[in-house]
Structure 1
């Protein structure tokens, strides 16, 4: 048996149905495949089609396993990802996801992998894997500080916090001084959403059972960045906890890149090429959340008042303030729809990144040394903002703590501080450059995965 394992393990990967989860799972899959292991990457047909093509040297090591997403009432037949459904329909997507249990169990029974690495939403998976004698690891795409704030699995399963105010204070299991809490407005939307679970299973419950049932927990971060939180996490979980590193995007040489987004990228690149180095702020608030109309107005007017070049990407065409696009023509570019974010962040004219502070975007932005400007919208984004801001990384747009409202002046001030200010801005920009060496270091990431493989072999 030991000899077989030395030849390479068979590892199944089962991410949640969101691109922000599928892509890091694929990044980890590639690193494991490079080290000689066979990967079965399991998802639904449309999500697999959306993934980038595998490099030729890994195509024989990674097999995509496709299960059609069961149809349920209230969900379109083409909705297979969180980006396909409005935020208030996310729980319907989870209800459909839960119906993948039978085909997944059949696949595991027949293929008998050594390990299955799974996401927070599949709380039912650990018991299936245990029944089949398959080792199982929960892969968290949230950093260690966020996991510690959530608490031990028992507090998640019992849902000890029930009101928004419960989430605005440091929990009792954090033994050191911490600024990592939610603002009221950040968690109010989240708590309201979990009250409407159509599955009868809250996200807290899913997280709790996914952690409790695992043999190990992998975390997309590293102890160099948040040492005290990794230490606390091991105490809270009482099981092996391993960093995967940040899993930054692999940079593809543009001459070799034949993505279908060529026409979109060519148009964007032409505009970026005309701008000065580090002069542009890239504005993107993720694929899941939508800003309210008044928030779009204030953000637009703030970008206008900043007098700074900007590239703003939106999911859907919003109602802009009258005359906005005409007034910013040449200085600002607005794009509706998908964009190659990694290529944009890599471009030398981009210096700042106005972001919702999802962990994926944080990794990509800091991996290229771009200075973050935070405008958290939902989920764990407020916690990420506190973690980074506490380390002197970036600035946060000033908002009302209760309702989350902000005005154009606070947007303009934050953008100018990061992009133009010579005194305060300089130290913030310098710190982002230092983080590029940590977040974008591929060799260090590979070393963390070596440790994980060593553990999985035993």
Structure 2
């Protein structure tokens, strides 16, 4: 029911851990999970990275020095009515069909269970989707970690995991989500824009899901023994504390895991050519437009974005949108870019960005977070089954 590129052993005789990583079927999840896998493997531990065949084949190539310690295990994705053929990731399907992918993902349960039974790992680190996994791992005596591939504030904004499961979230109206929730710091402005929460609610109403995402996430958190998040104390100390208080679980930041081109010797890697092109450009001459890997803009929005960039050819930040429908206009694009890059009142943004550069690029600091996380895994694995 599963296929591995190399044999997977049980607990090594030298005391090293065997850790299974099981991400959700989206490359925005799989890639951070793979980065975490590589960093743990660098410390000599055995990794089994589980996903579906097409996703395994589309992952970035492993560094040659880590290939012997990371097993890429293929779990065949069951066919589901409504899911297009060969669709194995969210990038393969439109938003309105992602719930079919989740239904197919739930069909991985038997294959995953068999793998866990035969490979006898020390830990399994999983994503939000497999709400059914924690009880299985607990029954097999396998320690359980939940990995949040984004910042701590995201989970903290959602509230206690118990609320996600029993539906007791006090926020019941759209208007409740456009103000900060009561459990966040009083000086925080963390809230949805109206068009954001409107889109979320309308999208949910158009989809008949067997299991709600909030239930999946809440079950994943409640079933874990440690909650790891892609964050660091220097960046979000308050949110890390809130996340732990809300969920009554040990919360461990694993650092920001800044990528390294040197991790791969593959000259065909797209990033190698992209970086080469960037290195050849004049400083301050390139505009980066961050839209997300799967966002589909309509033609009007795309045109307004392009016109705004061309009108003020500088580097931009988040751009104000219409609060009702989320649309943007070229003037708002141009004004935002000009504010941050040229005007005196935008100096605070420029200074902040320079200050963050040192933190985000401090690989030694972020490697220490991985050391602390791995030490926790070593000290808290279940040993009664050995």
User: Shared topology, TM-score over 0.5?
Assistant: yes
Q: Which runs of 4+ in 1 moved over 4 A?
A: 3-6
* SS of 1:217 mapped into structure 2: strand
Is structure 2 residue 309 aligned with structure 1 residue 299? no
Deviation at 1:273, TM superposition (A): 6.0
Which residue in 1 is equivalent to 2:330?
408
C-alpha separation in 1, matches of 2:160 and 2:81? 34
Q: 1:197 to 1:253 in 2, by over 3 A?
A: closer
Q: Gapped runs of 5+ residues in structure 1?
A: 309-351, 355-372, 375-396
Task: Summarize deviations over 1:98-117 as a string: whole Å, max 9, x none.
Answer: 11111001100110100000
Higher mean C-alpha displacement, 187-196 vs 176-185? 187-196
Which residue in 2 is equivalent to 1:228?
238
Deviation at 1:72, TM superposition (A): 1.2
2:287–2:313 CA contact under 8 A, matched in 1: no
User: RMSD between aligned alpha carbons?
Assistant: 2.2
* SS of 1:11 mapped into structure 2: strand
Following superposition of structure 1 onto structure 2, how do residues 228-377 of structure 1 map, counting pairs within 5 Å?
228-252=238-262, 256-259=265-268, 261=270, 265=273, 269=276, 272=278, 275-308=281-314, 352=315, 373-374=317-318
Q: Gapped runs of 5+ residues in structure 2?
A: 1-10, 380-386
Deviation at 1:250, TM superposition (A): 1.5
Higher mean C-alpha displacement, 12-21 vs 157-166? 157-166
C-alpha separation in 1, matches of 2:346 and 2:188? 25
Q: 1:413 to 1:233 in 2, by over 3 A?
A: same
Is structure 2 residue 253 aligned with structure 1 residue 214? no
C-alpha separation in 2, matches of 1:239 and 1:427? 36
2:102–2:129 CA contact under 8 A, matched in 1: yes
- Quick one: which of 156, 176, 196 aligns to 1:166? 176
Is structure 2 residue 143 aligned with structure 1 residue 135? yes
1:194–1:203 CA contact under 8 A, matched in 2: no
Task: Summarize deviations over 1:42-67 as a string: whole Å, max 9, x none.
Answer: 00111111111111111111000001
Which residue in 2 is equivalent to 1:16?
24
Deviation at 1:279, TM superposition (A): 1.8
* SS of 1:57 mapped into structure 2: coil
1:87–1:289 CA contact under 8 A, matched in 2: no
- Quick one: which of 103, 111, 115 aligns to 2:119? 111
Task: Summarize deviations over 1:234-288 as a string: whole Å, max 9, x none.
Answer: 111112110010111112289x4412548x937x955x56642122112241222
Name the TM-score, length of structure 1 as normaliser: 0.75
Which residue in 1 is equivalent to 2:360?
439
Is structure 2 residue 66 aligned with structure 1 residue 145? no
Following superposition of structure 1 onto structure 2, how do residues 375-454 of structure 1 map, counting pairs within 5 Å?
397-419=319-341, 421-454=342-375
2:61–2:266 CA contact under 8 A, matched in 1: no
C-alpha separation in 2, matches of 1:5 and 1:144? 36
C-alpha separation in 1, matches of 2:12 and 2:190? 45
- How many pairs does the alignment contain? 367
C-alpha separation in 2, matches of 1:162 and 1:107? 41
1:248–1:442 CA contact under 8 A, matched in 2: yes
2:178–2:194 CA contact under 8 A, matched in 1: yes
2:230–2:254 CA contact under 8 A, matched in 1: yes
1:87–1:288 CA contact under 8 A, matched in 2: no
Name the TM-score, length of structure 2 as normaliser: 0.89
Q: 1:273 to 1:175 in 2, by over 3 A?
A: closer
2:180–2:190 CA contact under 8 A, matched in 1: yes
